[in-house]
Chains A and B, each alone.
Chain A
Amino acid sequence: MTSSGQINKDNISPGSDYKSLPEGYGSTEAVLLPRDPNWMFIYWEITANAKAEVCKKHGADIFQKSKQIIRVYDVTATGSVDGGDQKYFDIPIMVDAKNWYINVQESGRTYCCEVGLVTPDGRFIGLVRTNPVKLPGGMVSDVTDEKWMSVSSDFEKLLQLSGVEYIGKGSGEVAKSLAQRWEMLRAVFSRASSWGVSSLSSHALGKQPSVNKNFWLVADCELILYGATEPDACVTVSGRKVKLNTDGTFSMRFALPDGSMGLPIKAVSNDESDTREIEIKVSRTTHTDGK
């Protein structure tokens, strides 16, 4: 490939597609990541061996007859699942989904997740457990120190001065401008997608992330203007002199953006006694289905 914009199928070696990365790494593990005060992302791998062990212990049909879930523990008090009686809630999933977005009501707390099975008689069989993640509070702290108390009535005003209303917004501006830094690709290829790509809901079961959609279409057009006159005539297009070929023909290639443009063509004979003019008006409109 010569560039990102240049989707040249011949040059993308098969090893370069992301699907060429390993499906798994042969170890049973799960990782939990923070996204924002109310969302986390979990991915996991459970090997065939690990599943077989569970089947051996609990019966060959244990995966079929149990509910597959993620158990989300609030481990703020102890830091780990083993510390005692944690509050938890369950999210039904498919173990084969391999990743999930998890919504929690309470921000600012520490969570840990366990992918597992709930048997028909209500027992929980844990398959794999994540690291703990502490989510940000997403609000002004209610912890104040002694010194603070004396000026706390002014805090609202200070928040306004600090730009509290801009939280998470001003940064979007910067990010958008940043996106435009890569501007040179815009011609045909960049189809600046909107934010909000993700996931207020988790991926539907079995539905692949959108990166999997390899189907694509790009299109553009340019304009070729051509003509002929006496080989010794003087020809201008939009006031600019055009170099004629020896047989008096000429051609030019222009970019053709959306909108309309006029192309006045003027030929003046060699002895300047005769003039011919043609004006071509071109307009272009591009519609896309927005996908």
Chain B
Amino acid sequence: MANNEKGYLALVLHAHLPFIRHPEYEDFLEEDWFYEAMCETYLPLLDIYERLTRENVDFRITMSLTPPLCNMMADPLLSKRFQRYYNQRLELSEKEVVRTRNTQFYDVARMYERKFKRIKELYEDYYHCNILEGFKKFQDMGRLEVITCGATHGFLPLEVRKEAVYAQVKIASDDYRRHFGRGPRGIWLAECAYNPGDDVYLKANGIRFFFLETHGIIYGSPRPRYGVYAPVYCPSGVAAFGRDMESAQQVWSAETGYPGDHRYREFYRDLGYDMEYEYIKPYLHSDGVRRNISMKYHRITGRVGLNEKAPYNPQEAREVAASHAGNFMFNRERQIEHLNGFLGRKPIVVSMYDAELYGHWWYEGTDFIEFFLKKIHYDQQTVKLVTPSEYLGIYPDNQMVQPSMSTWGDKGYNEVWLNGTNDWMYRHLHKAVERMVEMANRFESPDGPLKRALNQCAREVALGMSSDWAFLMTVGTAKTYSTKRFVEHTHRFIALYEQIMGNRIDEGYLKDIEWRDNIFPAIDYRVFSTAEADKAAKS
């Protein structure tokens, strides 16, 4: 296409789940979050990239795959359990095809059968049971830009020690290299939480850009000349891209957002509740409690009770997704034309979303993305899709601005992660970090069990830093689980710390928690040392 575009659009999907892996149980409910996201979001997205590539559609998309997610994707135990998960779903969908024959639900049952077959085929035949292969493939083609995130999605503005901030970025960066064969060019700061000055640690790790919520940019100083429609350079020279709220609202507003269309699939009406108990029991967890099993046969219908929902029509829903994609494109064209005239330069519109909202929460959301990428390619010339790296290649000169502290959480700052439900965590977390730094400064070249214990301490303190625990406490869902996780990692850290400092490492204990919390196999605890963080700050 010729160079006559009026501006750019960067579509950014943030894919993340906390590290949930419980080898000590045969069957663990919260692991389903991962399996569902695999089936509903990650693999369907890769399927889209496969199809578009086959059709020569030149698309661009940016995705963060957080280190916990990459570690889960690469983990053999979770892979085996994921295979069990989709094989069971496939079996159920085959039964459902028989059960629903000659009913109005037959097409939907067939859809699930095809879907799970395709999941199996992609996962096993295309990506050899490690879907990171898929993401790497499209990254190497230049169509997908995979960025990293803090090591465990740590919430950086509430860390008081700079060593902790540095360690989150450094561990992530090393882990990224292990999976993708080169360093990350960009990072998604967990919860878009930015603390002025933290960008120096990004720079030290070769990271060139990150993303901010709108007010992080427009409350920056001096005033950003182009608002959020051009990136700014932090004092360190790392670029910050700001979120465009117009496109965010268009998709996710409760009143006007696309996913509420009454022809789309209803999330809350689920076969796990609809079917007779004995029929559905083999597909529930071993506790036998009814839960959603992600097979749903009804559409949103309207404001009616769950038992009055009308049957789902997959073909009709796909057509709606296509028309929403058309509408979204039309609005971006108008937006970019308008901005171009107003700014006197080609704007970049950055549309950022949680990846799991597409496919998992909004079932047709992945169709929407596919239609959108195709329409942008075939049907217009106003908007050009770019990755942030490409954009910085085109526009290397940008205004220097110190962005403001900000997050994308409710009210725009830190309250979601610091309030009466979770503020008790921080004294324990900070103490663990302080002790970790103390040990990293003290032990220079240990070997044997001491080295292993120190590395495990680094894993435990990193796992405790996940913003997910505080988030789940705030929203009140999975609160027991998140509390337990934070407490467990803190306990394990304290136990190992005392063993190390008392020179009495219990190897049996160490081995047990190495087996449980096996994230970051190549971690080096020295990333927590003061000297490393200082060196990074000066680089």
Q: In the complex the two chains form, what is the Cα distance from A222 to B29 in whole Å?
A: 21
Q: Nearest A residue to B32 by beta-carbon distance?
A: A184
Q: Does B8 contact A (CB under 8 A)?
A: no
Within 8 A of B (CB), among A133-168: 134-141, 143-145, 147-148, 151-152, 154-155, 157-159, 161-164, 166-168
Cross-chain contact A252 with B277 (CB below 8 angstroms): yes
Q: Does B387 contact A (CB under 8 A)?
A: no
Min CB distance, B373 to chain A, in Å?
22
Min CB distance, A261 to chain B, in Å?
5
Cross-chain contact B361 with A4 (CB below 8 angstroms): no
Give the contact stretch, choosing among B417-425, B445-453, B499-507, B517-525.
B417-425
Cross-chain contact A33 with B418 (CB below 8 angstroms): yes
Instruction: Mark A114-148 against chain B: 1 for CB-CB distance below 8 A, else 0.
Output: 00000000000000000100111111110111011
Cross-chain contact B478 with A2 (CB below 8 angstroms): no
Cross-chain contact A192 with B414 (CB below 8 angstroms): no
Q: Does B144 contact A (CB under 8 A)?
A: no
Q: Which residues of A contact B254 (CB under 8 A)?
A: 173, 176
Cross-chain contact B419 with A197 (CB below 8 angstroms): yes
Known: A36-B412, A163-B246. Contact between A2 and B482, CB under 8 A? no
Cross-chain contact B487 with A33 (CB below 8 angstroms): no
Q: Does B278 contact A (CB under 8 A)?
A: yes
Cross-chain contact B214 with A35 (CB below 8 angstroms): no
Q: Does A211 contact B (CB under 8 A)?
A: yes
Cross-chain contact B196 with A134 (CB below 8 angstroms): yes
Give the contact stretch, choosing among A13-21, A59-67, A86-94, A272-280.
A13-21
Q: Does B484 contact A (CB under 8 A)?
A: yes
Within 8 A of B (CB), among A2-60: 2-7, 12, 15-18, 20-22, 25, 31, 33-37, 39, 41, 43, 45
Which listed residue, A33, A140, A198, touches B218 by the CB 8 Å rule?
A140
Known: A177-B354, A179-B475, A197-B419. Contact between A2 and B424, CB under 8 A? no
Known: A198-B419, A257-B307. Contact between A175 and B214, CB under 8 A? no
Q: In the complex the two chains form, what is the Cα distance from A2 to B31 in whole Å?
A: 10
Number of interface residues of B (CB under 8 A): 109
Q: Which residues of B contact A17 (CB under 8 A)?
A: 487
Known: A22-B494, A193-B475, A211-B473. Contact between A31 and B160, CB under 8 A? yes
Cross-chain contact A148 with B214 (CB below 8 angstroms): no
Q: Does B530 contact A (CB under 8 A)?
A: no
Q: Does B244 contact A (CB under 8 A)?
A: yes
Q: In the complex the two chains form, what is the Cα distance from A25 to B158 in whole Å?
A: 20
Q: Does B249 contact A (CB under 8 A)?
A: yes
Q: Nearest B residue to A15 by beta-carbon distance?
A: B491
Q: In the complex the two chains form, what is the Cα distance from A2 to B26 in whole Å?
A: 9
Q: Does B390 contact A (CB under 8 A)?
A: no
Q: A interface, by DSSP: helix, strand, loop or mixed?
A: mixed
Which listed residue, A5, A43, A176, touches B29 by the CB 8 Å rule?
A5
Q: In the complex the two chains form, what is the Cα distance from A172 to B486 in whole Å?
A: 24
Q: In the complex the two chains form, what is the Cα distance from A176 to B423 in whole Å?
A: 21
Cross-chain contact A3 with B33 (CB below 8 angstroms): no
Q: Does B91 contact A (CB under 8 A)?
A: no
Within 8 A of B (CB), among A189-218: 190-193, 195, 197-199, 203, 209-211
Which listed residue, A21, A158, A173, A184, touches B227 by the CB 8 Å rule?
A158
Cross-chain contact B244 with A163 (CB below 8 angstroms): yes
Give the contact stretch, choosing among B45-53, B122-130, B181-189, B284-292.
B284-292
Which listed residue, A143, A195, A209, touches B410 by the CB 8 Å rule?
A195
Cross-chain contact B410 with A36 (CB below 8 angstroms): no
19 interchain pairs (CB within 8 A)?
A16-B484, A20-B491, A31-B430, A36-B415, A37-B413, A41-B426, A140-B223, A158-B226, A161-B342, A162-B242, A164-B215, A166-B248, A170-B248, A171-B409, A176-B254, A181-B356, A184-B33, A255-B274, A257-B273
Residues of B within 8 A of A (CB): 25, 27-30, 32-33, 36, 157-158, 160, 196, 213-215, 217-223, 225-229, 242, 244-246, 248-249, 252-254, 257, 267-268, 273-274, 276-278, 285-287, 289-292, 305-307, 338-339, 342, 353-354, 356-357, 360-361, 399, 404-416, 418-424, 426-428, 430-431, 471-484, 486-488, 490-491, 494
* Cβ-closest 9 pairs across A and B: A163-B245, A198-B419, A4-B481, A3-B29, A193-B476, A168-B412, A36-B413, A253-B277, A141-B221
